[in-house]
């Protein structure tokens, strides 16, 4: 029993230690999951903020691109208007050159109108330059924001890679934990099987003890029946003893009465002897005269002697009966003593059997209580293990779901970041194209401003120049304006050879000392060849 108690206590301590270890492991895993969930929430918040920033930047970029496109459309429209005005002016000048109908005042008004347009165009070019600088600053800021977003995306990708590594490590640790728990479950199942075998062995022992207790009870019942029979026999013997004692008492009374009678008779005999002796002496003295009286005394003496002999025989018979009764009484008392000893022995044996029976019953109760405690502890441990296994399976399922969701969210984040990076690269390409267009517009604006400066210089020298020469060269330089296919359009005005420009009608060459003289000569009507 002590060994069973020790084994049950040892198993209980082992189960409590295992459950405590499992609870600590589960608490540690729950804390790790809470920290990972907090980190994932923080990363989700950061990603949401970055998405908002990216969306805001996209909106700003779209607005700026729309503004750029509108400004470019306006610039293209104004350039088209300027080109058409230049073409109209050139056509008009050609008509004037050909018709030679208008005078110098109309040329002056036309020149004033052109100067006003040139001034307006210069103002617009300055505004465009300012706007270009603003756009360039905005583009540089957007480029810096794009670089910052790219760095943030790289940081987020590195964080996601770290998170993936952490999740993989968590998966590996969870798998190792699952294997460890499965091994623990197998060991627990083995211990449960061993406990079941031990419980079966204890139940077999309890059944054996119950069988032995039943046999002991049957023997005890048989002994109780024998004891009852012996008690009945003892009571019968005691009754017989009482009867014998009563008979013995009556015999003793009779013997006492016989003794009393014997004593009386002896006294009478003594008295008669004394009288006989006296009478014999007296008869001897008196002689034969008294023969009649002596014969009567002899008859009385014979009768007394016969009575005395009868009393002696009756006394002997009574003594024999008394001795016989005493022998039977001694035998009955011996049998009573033997029966009382046997009864006492049976009582002692019955007490011993009752003590053993009580011990067996107490031991059976203890064993039953231990079996019930073992079954309760086994059932509670089994229920705890089942609950723990279900809780662990639920946690592992939730962990798998969270890992899958984090993987899906990380893949979605990677896809979104890749899409955002592609969009940012596309927008960077668009910004580069816009910058190239702005550079081309800047060059064209610079070229036009140089042309305007040349026209202004030509206006100052308009009065001293020749209109016909300017018209002829203007007709020739029509091919050199922007948009012409001549090679002069690609060359800068500083690299022009002002010494030789052919006439429109003849192969006559005019000599110019400066571009201003040439431009002024463009605006003058040509002279007929």
Look over the chain and give the mean of its residue pLDDT values, rounded to a whole number.
Answer: 69
CB 198 within 8 A of CB 10: no
- Residue 391: per-residue pLDDT: 72
Q: Which residues, 6+ apart, have CB-to-CB distance to 75 below 8 Å?
A: 128, 441
Say what percent of the chain tops pLDDT 70.
58
**Which fold does the domain 213-367 belong to in CATH?**
Helix Hairpins (1.10.287)
- Report the candidate in 264, 249, 276 with the shortest Cα–Cα distance to residue 311: 264
| Rounded Cα distance, 65 and 246, in Å | 147
Kindly report, residue by residue over 302-352, the tens digit of the pLDDT.
665 676 667 667 667 767 776 777 677 677 677 767 777 777 777 787 777
Mean pLDDT of 54-74: 79
Kindly report, residue by residue over 8-23, the tens digit of the pLDDT.
777 778 777 877 777 7
Query: DSSP letter string over 441-491?
Result: HHHHHHHHHHHHHHHHHHHHTTTTS-HHHHHHHHHHHGGGSTT-SSGGGTS
CB 62 within 8 A of CB 450: no
Burial 285-315, CB ≥16 within 10 A → b, else e: eeeeeeeeebeebeeebeebeeebeebeeee
Mean pLDDT of 257-275: 71
Kindly report, residue by residue over 280-291, the tens digit of the pLDDT.
666 666 655 555
Kindly report, residue by residue over 201-253, the tens digit of the pLDDT.
777 876 777 777 777 778 777 777 877 787 777 777 778 777 777 777 776 77
Lowest mean pLDDT among 65-69, 207-211, 490-494: 490-494
Lowest mean pLDDT among 358-367, 381-390, 394-403, 477-486: 477-486
- Residue 489: per-residue pLDDT: 37
pLDDT at residue 355 tops 60: yes
Mean pLDDT of 146-170: 75
| Rounded Cα distance, 498 and 511, in Å | 7
pTM, full prediction? 0.30
Lowest mean pLDDT among 259-268, 415-424, 507-516: 507-516
| Rounded Cα distance, 109 and 236, in Å | 175
Kindly report, residue by residue over 74-93, the tens digit of the pLDDT.
877 877 787 787 788 778 77
- Residue 278: per-residue pLDDT: 66
pLDDT at residue 154 tops 70: yes
Comparing 22 with 269, the larger pLDDT belongs to: 22
- Residue 515: per-residue pLDDT: 43
**Domain-wise residue ranges, the chain:** 213-367
């Amino acid at each position: 029993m002590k060994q069973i108690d020790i084994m049950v206590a040892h198993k209980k301590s082992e189960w409590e230690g295992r459950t405590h270890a499992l609870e600590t492991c589960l608490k540690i895993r729950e804390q790790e999951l809470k920290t990972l969930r907090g980190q994932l929430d923080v990363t989700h918040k950061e990603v949401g903020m970055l998405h908002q920033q990216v969306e805001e930047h996209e909106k700003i970029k779209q607005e700026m691109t729309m503004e750029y496109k509108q400004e470019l459309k306006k610039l293209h429209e104004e350039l088209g208007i300027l080109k058409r005005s230049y073409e109209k002016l050139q056509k008009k000048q050609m008509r004037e050159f050909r018709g030679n109908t208008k005078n110098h005042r109309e040329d002056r008004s036309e020149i004033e109108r052109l100067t006003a347009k040139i001034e307006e165009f210069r103002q617009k070019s300055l505004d465009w330059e300012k706007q270009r600088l603003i756009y360039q600053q905005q583009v540089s800021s957007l480029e810096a924001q794009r670089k910052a977003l790219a760095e943030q995306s790289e940081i987020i990708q590195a964080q996601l890679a770290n998170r993936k590594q952490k999740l993989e490590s968590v998966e590996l640790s969870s798998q190792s934990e699952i294997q460890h728990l499965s091994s623990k479950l197998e060991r627990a199942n083995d211990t449960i099987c061993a406990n079941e075998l031990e419980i079966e062995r204890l139940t077999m022992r309890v059944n054996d003890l119950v069988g032995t207790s039943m046999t002991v009870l049957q023997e005890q019942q048989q002994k109780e029946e024998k004891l009852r029979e012996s008690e009945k026999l003892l009571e019968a013997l005691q009754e017989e003893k009482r009867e014998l004692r009563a008979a013995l008492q009556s015999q003793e009374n009779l013997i006492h009465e016989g003794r009393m009678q014997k004593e009386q008779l002896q006294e009478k005999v003594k008295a008669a002897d004394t009288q006989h002796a006296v009478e014999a002496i007296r008869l001897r003295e008196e002689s034969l005269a008294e023969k009649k009286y002596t014969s009567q005394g002899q008859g009385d003496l014979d009768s007394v002697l016969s009575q005395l002999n009868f009393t002696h025989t009756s006394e002997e018979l009574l003594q024999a009966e008394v001795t016989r009764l005493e022998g039977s009484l001694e035998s009955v008392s011996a049998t009573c003593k033997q029966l009382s000893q046997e009864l006492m022995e049976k009582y002692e044996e019955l007490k011993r059997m009752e003590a053993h029976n009580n011990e067996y019953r107490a031991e059976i109760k203890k064993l039953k209580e231990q079996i019930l405690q073992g079954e309760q502890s086994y059932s509670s441990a089994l229920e705890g293990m089942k609950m723990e296994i279900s809780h662990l399976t639920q946690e592992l399922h939730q962990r798998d779901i969270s890992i899958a969701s984090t993987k899906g969210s990380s893949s979605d984040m990677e896809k979104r970041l890749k899409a955002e990076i592609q969009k940012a690269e596309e927008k960077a390409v668009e910004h580069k194209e816009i910058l190239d267009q702005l550079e081309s517009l800047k060059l064209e604006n610079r070229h036009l401003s140089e042309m305007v400066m040349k026209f202004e210089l030509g206006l100052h020298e308009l009065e001293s120049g020749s209109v016909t020469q300017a018209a002829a060269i203007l007709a020739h330089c029509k091919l050199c304006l922007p948009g012409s296919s001549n090679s002069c359009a690609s060359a800068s005005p500083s690299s022009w050879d002002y010494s030789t420009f052919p006439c429109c009608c003849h192969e006559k060459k005019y000599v110019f000392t400066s571009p201003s003289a040439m431009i002024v000569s463009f605006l003058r009507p040509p002279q007929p060849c």
